[in-house]
Amino acid sequence: MTLSDRTCVITGASRGIGRGIAEQLGAEGANVVVNYHYSSEAANRVVDVIEDLGGSAIACQADVTDREQVDRMRDETHEAFGRPAVLVNNAGITQDTKFETMTREEWDRVIDVTLGGTFNCTQTFFPDIKHAEEGRLVNISSVIGKQGNYGQANYAAAKSGLFGLTRSLALELAPHGATANCVAPGYTETDMVEGVRDDILDRLKEQIPLKRFASVEEIACVVRFLASEEASYISGEVLDVNGAMDL
């Protein structure tokens, strides 16, 4: 499943699942654009890892909620590597609170980053994906978008919105031979769970038939497959990677 010389843009790629995706695609020979918002140091470490693996990469700062910054990221991508063939919309945030006490600002911020940022990046890079040979769009959602979760109404709404967006874009990209798919991970071993108490983590694992969290690499492998030529007849799908917790 080589991605040799294909240019891939990954948003929110300085840590967590985004970092794992960037490193896996880089290891397969892709030219990787490591998008980040705040942490240039972390993003540059990802670039170093990819280059050590024999790939090529650049770190590119852009707030995905700001269309001008996203446009600048596109220009920097074109200058460094030419038109990208793969866009992975991974950037997202949480601001958890019960719905009855949730402020409109907390609602809007999560929607704006997770769903609005995907809109901005996809529309900006849409001509590139559409005209690429084997163009690929991959949106990163969550099992929470399917199940909901206490205190995460904003996050669940944003992640669920990616399902319908992905399926609509798959229809618009199909005439051009490009695909759009969505990956919905379950609980994953990232720095977001490092501060959670052990007893809470144990209760969460009990909800998962496989009794463990996913590794970042297990999520990244699915994205790597969807970005490859081998996935050319898969489009408009939501791929669950959750240890059977949604059955």
Closest CA to 10 of 30, 39, 40, 38: 30
> CA triplet 74, 35, 175: central angle to 5 degrees?
50
Identify the bridge partners of residue 188 per DSSP, sorted by sequence position.
214
Spatial CA neighbour of 18 closest among 172, 207, 184, 216: 216
155 catalytic? Reply is: yes
Q: What Rg, from alpha-carbon coordinates, does the chain have?
A: 17
Point out the catalytic residue in the list 38, 150, 155, 233.
155
| Partner residues linked to 60 by β-bridges | 35
What number of CA atoms fall less than 13 Å from residue 85's CA on the CB side?
Answer: 20
Active-site residue numbers? Answer: 155
